[in-house]
Amino acid sequence: MMFLNAQKPGLIKDPYIYKPDSIMLDLEDAVAENQKDAARFSLYHALKEIDYHGVERVIRINGLDTPYWQEDIRCAVAGGCDAIRIPKTESALDIHLVEEKVLAAEKEFGRPEGSTLLMAAIESARGVMKALDICDASERLFGIALSGGDYTKDLQTHITGTGIELMGARQNLIIAARAAGKQCFDKVYTNLNDTEGFRKDVETIHLMGFDGKSIINPRQIRIVHEIFTPSQKDIAFSEKVVKEIDSKKAQGIGVFTVDGKMIDIAFYDGAKRTIELAKASGVYKGEL
């Protein structure tokens, strides 16, 4: 998910050429206080007129403690965005407030009801502790995301580059998301010159189970895709696991080996997920 300032025409006119999975057009922090109105016009016309070639368009609205968020929602929904990202989410009530305005906007602008998805950015200690409530708050909510800067400030620490300060929040968020059947996304990595640090950061969150990473520059895309795309070895193994489980189940066999590893039904969902991810990444050539 690549962050882009909605107020900058040069940034939002063609980001799809870098092949991000999604873009997050920002009306919040990236836009100066006296440019909030101008950013909305820019956003609306970009949504209506630019072909983003299937890249999902998520809009970060301003916080619910500002005078901007309700008009942000009207603009984003009228433009036909795919999802709205709610900043500084701290409770299920925040989700309900946004959901109500989104539904009203869908009705006002003739968009299909329920077509605008939501995601919640968690940026505080309270938000982390309420993560499961937030995840369960709405059918529209497809995922949650950690926002590191504000969260570490709230914790009275700072981004160290080691990830130590984020361990608890990351763990809590991924567990809450999985418990609720939602997706979970990690924060941005702001030091663009530290490629090795970025790679380690992405490897860590990948191993933790996150579904993706927020990024701030196209040059970070390749590394995220490299780490999140299943290897051909993983794909081949997963394919064997799915096929073997399907065939052995018919024969009444529950436990067997594939490439010397003991396999049972518990491996099935993970193997299927690897195949689905390989398909989504465009690297699967098999027949499953």
Partner 1 sequence: MIIQKPGIAGTLESSDAQVTVEPGDGKIEFELESAVINQYGLQIRKITYDTLKRLGIDNVKIKIVDKGALDCTLKARIEGAVYRSCNQYNDLPWGGAIQ
CB of 48 to partner 1, least distance (A): 7
Cα distances from 247 to residues 233, 258, 260, 285, in angstroms, run: 21, 13, 18, 21
How far apart CA 204 and CA 161 sit, in angstroms, is: 12
Our finding on whether 4 is near partner 1 (CB under 8 A) is no
Our finding on whether 96 is near partner 1 (CB under 8 A) is no
DSSP string for 199-218 = HHHHHHHHHHT-SEE-BSSG
Q: Which stretch binds partner 1 (CB under 8 A): 67-75, 83-91, 245-253, 263-271?
A: 67-75
- Beta-carbon contacts of 223 under 8 Å, excluding residues fewer than 6 positions away, are 195, 198, 199, 202
CB of 50 to partner 1, least distance (A): 7
Q: Which amino acid is at 198?
A: F
* Contact between residue 223 and residue 195 where contact means Cβ atoms under 8 Å apart: yes
Our finding on whether 13 is near partner 1 (CB under 8 A) is yes
Our finding on whether 154 is near partner 1 (CB under 8 A) is no
Our finding on whether 66 is near partner 1 (CB under 8 A) is no
CB of 51 to partner 1, least distance (A): 11
Our finding on whether 75 is near partner 1 (CB under 8 A) is yes
Class of residue 33 by CB neighbours under 10 A (exposed 0-12, middle 13-18, buried 19+):
exposed
Measured between alpha carbons, how far apart are the two ends of the chain, in Å?
28
Q: Which amino acid is at 127?
A: G
Our finding on whether 78 is near partner 1 (CB under 8 A) is yes
Instruction: Compose the 26-55 pattern: x for residues touching partner 1 by CB under 8 A, - for all others.
Output: -----------xx-xxx-xxx-xxx-----
CB of 188 to partner 1, least distance (A): 23
Q: Exactly one of 70, 204, 229, 281 binds partner 1 (CB under 8 A); which one?
A: 70
CB of 31 to partner 1, least distance (A): 12
Nearer to partner 1 (CB atom), residue 109 or residue 194: 109
* Contact between residue 6 and residue 43 where contact means Cβ atoms under 8 Å apart: yes
Q: Which stretch binds partner 1 (CB under 8 A): 74-82, 138-146, 228-236, 265-273?
A: 74-82
DSSP string for 44-89 = HHHHHH---TT-EEEEEPPPTTSSSHHHHHHHHHHHT-SEEEETT-
The count of chain residues that interact with partner 1, using the rule CB under 8 A, is 23
Our finding on whether 10 is near partner 1 (CB under 8 A) is yes
- Beta-carbon contacts of 203 under 8 Å, excluding residues fewer than 6 positions away, are 227
Q: Which amino acid is at 117?
A: L
CB of 2 to partner 1, least distance (A): 17
Q: Exactly one of 96, 100, 109, 236 binds partner 1 (CB under 8 A); which one?
A: 109
Our finding on whether 71 is near partner 1 (CB under 8 A) is yes
Q: What share of the chain is helix, strand, coil (3-state, %, to 5)?
A: 50, 15, 35
CB of 163 to partner 1, least distance (A): 35
Nearer to partner 1 (CB atom), residue 73 or residue 135: 73
Q: Which residues bind partner 1 (CB under 8 A)?
A: 8-10, 13, 37-38, 40-42, 44-46, 48-50, 70-71, 74-75, 78-79, 109-110
